[in-house]
Structure formats: C-alpha cells, structure tokens
Amino acid sequence: MSDRYIVGDLVAEFLQAVGVTTAFGLVSVHNIPMLDAIGRRNAIRFVKARGEHGAGHMADAFIRASGDLAVLFTSTGPGAANGIPALVEAGFAGTPLIHITGQTASGNIDRDQGPVHDLPGQLAMLESVSKSAYRVRDAASALGTLTRAVSDALTPPMGPVSIEIPIDVQRTAIDRTAALDGQLLALPAPAPAPTAQLDEAAAMLRAAKRPMLWTGNGAKFAGAAVRRLVDMGLPLATSWNGRAVIPEDHPRNFAGLYAAPELVEFYQSVDLLIVAGCRLRGHETADLSLALPARRIHIDIDPAANGRTYGNDLFLCGEAGATLAALADRVDGQLTLDAALGDAAAAAKTAAEAGFKDFLGTYADMPAVVRAAMPADALWVRDVTMNNTTWGNRWFPLNAPRDNIYPISAAIGPGLPLGIGAALGAGGRKTVMMSGDGGFAINLAELWTAMDEGVDAVFMIMNDHGYGVIKHIQTSLYGGRHYFADPSAPDYRGLAALCGMPFFHSDTVAGVGPALEAALAVDGPAMVEVDMSAIGAYPTYYKPPPYADKD
C-alpha cells in the first residue's frame, strides 16, 4: 500500500500539519493504516506504551507540560475502552487530548455481527467521556471531520475529543488535497466579557476596600493580567489545578492553602471576591461548605458556570484572561483599598503555613526537603497519595502553571504515566513524580516505557505499605476495620534492577533530600523509595462529612 495515498496517510499528514509532534498508544489491527503512515513519514514520535490506560495519561501530561497538541491512538472495542480512564481525567483537567481509534468495517458497525473487537455502541461510549466524539463515515469527509474534531478540542472550555475511523475508510485510496498545505484550524480569539458587564464589574471593584481574586484552571495562563491586579493590592487564591498563575512565593498568593482556617477567617473581612476561570468545585470546597466572602463576581467562558456551585452578584461570560485584562485596564490607578489589606493577607498566609506545618508533625519538613532538592523549574507530577492530598497540592511552592500536573479527577494510578508524558513534554526540564505504593502498582508495566523512551524523570514512591488514605477513612468511619486495604507490593530495589533503573532509598525525612538529588543527577529515569513506615505514622487529615454513617 505504500505506493498509494490513503486515508491513513491523510490522518498522519493532518496531524503533522496541526502541530502534533508526539503520539502515544499501541499498534493494533484497526489502526495499522494510520500508524503505518506515521512510521513511513517519520515526522511524529510514536511512544509505544504498554497499555492504552497509561498511553492516554502520558498524552494528557505531555500536553499539560508542553502546551502542544498530542494524540492517543487505541485499537477498537476493548482497546478504546482501556483508554477511557485517561479521557475521563483529561476531561477533569480541561486537556485538549485527541483520541483516535479504529472501528470495524463500515458495513459491520453497530450490527452486533461479531467481527474482531466489535463493540456495538462504541461511539456512544466515547461520547459519554469526551467533550465530543466523531465518526469518519467515508473518505470524502475525513479531512472535514478531523478538522472539526481538533478545533472542538482546542476551543475553550477545552477537553478531550474522540474520533472513530473504520478500517475500510482508513485503507481507502484518495487524492492528496492542497488544503493540507494551508491553515486548517479556525479557532476563536480569546474575547473578554461584554462591555456593559465589564463596566459594572469595574464599578464594583472601585467601590471595594478589601477585594480579593480567586482563579482556576481557566485562568492559569492569564499571569500578566492576574499579576496586574495583585500588584494593585488584591490578594490571590487559586484552585489546585490553577496554581502558580503567578509564582507562589508572593506573600499575597495563598496558592493551595486557601482552605486553611487562618485564611477562611481572613475571607470574612473581604468585601468583594472576583472568581475567574474557576469552578469552586465541591472536591476543593468541602462539598461547597467552605465559607467564602459574601459578595462575589464570577468570570467564566462557559455560561453554564453561572451559579453551578456558589452564587454570585454578577456573572461575566468571557475568556478569563482577556476579561481580567480588560477589568484591570478599567480600574488601573483608581482603587482605594484598605491600607492594611496587604499586610493582613500576608500575615494570614504566614499563619496558615505555620498551622499546616504543625499539622504535618513528623512530616513537617518533607515539603521543604523535596522542594530544595528539585530545580526551580522542575515539573511537579503526582498521583493521589496522602502526601499529595495534603502538602503536595497545598504547600509546595511552584513557579509556573505548567509545573503542576496531578490527577484532577482524584483517580489513583495515573501518576507513573503522567510522569512519563510530562518528562517527554518538559523541553529539557527535570520531572519529579510522587506516588504512593498503591497507586504506583496500577500502571507498573509503564516503567519499561520509561526505560525505552529514556525519560528524564524521577519516580518517588512514598511507601506506607497499603492504601493509606483508605485506612484513614476506615478508621474514622468503620471502626478501624482495614479490610482489603493492604495489597502486597514489590521489592522496589529489585524492581528497579529488573528494568535497569537506578535506585535510591531513604527511611528518614532528612535523607529524602540527598536521595532525590542523587536521582535527579541521573541522565534518564531513576527511582526513589521513601519508607514511610520507618519515618512514622502520617497525620490523619480525613474528616467525615456530617451525614456520614459512623457505624
């Protein structure tokens, strides 16, 4: 087939034309024409993962780390289903992940005739976990469908988009179109909220004496506009996924500590809260019980965000960065803030940090030890583990939004492949991935992907010999009965030796720094095990909701 131009060639050339340099996945019976074309063109790096689950998380993290488009290729049916967890996570994260899967031949689709990998209703399955899902129905519509799908993924609010291409369509011979040589995507320019809404918001901000800004994922690349408002005197809080919109060492940037009691007390003195590109989602606000300032402006590009979690006095529908910039223009030099606001915000942050350090107890120095060992521009990638849910998400200073990669869905297990994908998109920066032992096991086979690709990443395993957070919940709500929460784990030194990866170990907090520094000095993947059982019990942070059954 190499002497004919087929739809598989069109897919490969289209992806290159829209800027894709890296794809992830597995070669299989229903995607060979596309991957054969990618191989022959040799313009896109294809990362051979061990499973579609891991491959999808790698693609997601590559996009988050680099800002470049990436693609997940899966096979049909079971292969496409294996990629579902990654699509779910990409949806939570707002990642424009492109998922391309095959399909059985057009004449067999949704007829339940039993061809290989046939899954009646596959498109509906993908629609349920993607921003949108498309089927290329024939060769003539292939380019148009691909263009629409990628444009949809990249149009805010962004998210994963799936594309099915039947195997017979992939093999169909076509003429190459000159459209591939031009601009294929027509994406909307970031637009601020309407003028009348901006004017009203500006009037409210001018009247405020103790205003505050709260930004999220939709504003995390609006650093210039956010910095202008912070420089005018506004304190700043961010969602966990919106962290480091400006560097977190700024005294008025509360970062992930926003729910600390000392800061919640400070909020009661705030007379206007401006929320931009942030859902104020239940997972981060104790199921919407976090006490926020009473008067609120909400800015979001999605009109459905209006009132979805917390109410507001004014909703502005517009792209967060453009809207904040336009708002800053309107109030520049016109604010008359309480002279004590800045000092009060800085003092509240300092008190929150001290309180959180006290809470960590034996682990109080762990955040500073890990941060000091890492380069300032290193990527900070995590799995769901007690260490991340506490200090990793909340109290670990970050300098730029792309440094921050973790499972927004709170899924256990994505950490290892997220670390691999982030390292491949890091552009020469170091990557540190922190996982618990339970989460690390879920995608264990991807260690060999890390070795194959030579990723410059350190995989740091916080080993508490079981599902620590589950045990905390079982202790709090279920009489301390730790059923099914102690899966066995490998000997990590032996595991590292098996895949040829340098290994380092620490059984003290102080020893973590030298072990991590030694691992970071390796040119390629390395593993660090932190023995939490030797360090001591981790402080219980789980608090049962008021409606919980405690029997």
Q: Tell whether 303 and 268 lie within a shared domain.
A: yes
Angle at the Cα of 324 (from 320 to 327), degrees rounded to 5? 140
Question: Does residue 541 lie within any of the structural domains?
Answer: no
pLDDT digits (tens, 9 = 90+) for 468-514: 888 888 888 899 899 999 888 899 999 999 999 999 999 999 999 99
The reply to whether 491 and 414 lie within a common domain is: yes
More confident residue, 29 or 339: 339
Has residue 550 been placed in a domain? no
Question: How large is the average pLDDT for residues 246-254?
Answer: 97
- Beta-bridged to residue 315, according to DSSP, are 298
341 and 412 inside one domain: no
The Cβ-side half-sphere exposure at 74, using a 13 Å CA radius, reads 31
Residue 392, classed as helix, strand or coil, is: helix
pLDDT score for 217 = 97
For the cut 90, the answer to whether the pLDDT of residue 306 exceeds it is yes
Last residue of one domain, picked from the residues 353, 387, 409? 353
Residue 2 has a pLDDT of 53
Shared domain check, 505 and 384: yes
**Closest Cα to residue 159, out of 80, 220, 86, 83?**
86
Domain boundary among 304, 322, 353: 353
Residue 544: predicted pLDDT: 54
Residue 54 or residue 471, greater confidence:
54
Name the strands in the sheet holding 22-25, side by side, starting at the edge strand that comes first in the sequence: 45-48, 22-25, 71-74, 98-103, 161-166, 132-135
Average pLDDT, the chain: 95
Q: What is the pLDDT of residue 179?
A: 94
Q: What 3-state class would DSSP assign to 431?
A: strand
Average pLDDT over residues 345-366: 96
Residue 293 preceded by cis peptide, ω within 30? no
On whether residue 1 sits in a domain, the answer given is no
Q: What is the CATH number of the domain that holds 424?
A: 3.40.50.970
Residue burial 301-335, b: 16+ Cβ < 10 Å; e: rest: beeebeeebbebebbbbbbbbbbbbbbbeebeeeb
Residues 369 and 501 in one domain: yes
CB 47 within 8 A of CB 24: yes
- Do residues 408 and 350 make contact, with C-beta atoms less than 8 angstroms apart? no
- What letter does residue 537 receive in the DSSP assignment? P
pLDDT of residue 187: 92
Q: What is the pTM of this model?
A: 0.95
- 3-state secondary structure at position 170: helix
Confidence of residue 108 (pLDDT cuts 50, 70, 90): confident
Q: Are residues 392 and 505 in the same domain?
A: yes
Domain presence at residue 186? no
Residue whose C-alpha is closest to residue 75's, from 128, 130, 118: 118
In a domain? residue 188: no
Mean pLDDT, residues 226-230:
98
On whether residue 540 sits in a domain, the answer given is no
Do residue 340 and residue 401 come from a single domain? no
Confidence of residue 314 (pLDDT cuts 50, 70, 90): very high
In a domain, 48, yes or no: yes
- Say whether pLDDT at 545 is over 60: no
Are 444 and 330 contained in the same domain?
A: no
Judge if 293 and 164 occupy the same domain: no
Q: For residue range 373-383, what is the model confidence (pLDDT) as tens digits?
A: 999 999 999 99
Q: How confident is the model at residue 542 (pLDDT cuts 50, 70, 90)?
A: low
Whether the pLDDT of residue 224 is over 70: the answer is: yes
In a domain, 543, yes or no: no
pLDDT, tens digit, 9 for 90 and up, residues 137-149: 999 999 999 999 9
Q: pLDDT tens-digit profile of 254-296?
A: 999 999 999 999 999 999 999 999 999 999 999 999 999 999 9
User: Are 506 and 456 in the same domain?
Assistant: yes
Whether residue 224 is found in the same domain as residue 345: yes
Whole-number percent of the chain with pLDDT over 90: 89
- pLDDT at position 115, please? 80
Asked whether residue 548 carries a pLDDT value surpassing 70, the answer given is no
Instruction: Tell whether the model's pLDDT for residue 1 goes beyond 70.
Output: no
Total domains in the chain come to: 3
Q: Are residues 392 and 294 in the same domain?
A: no
Domain closes at, from 333, 353, 373: 353
pLDDT band, very low/low/confident/very high, at 547 (cuts 50, 70, 90):
very low
Structural domain boundaries, residue 314: 195-353
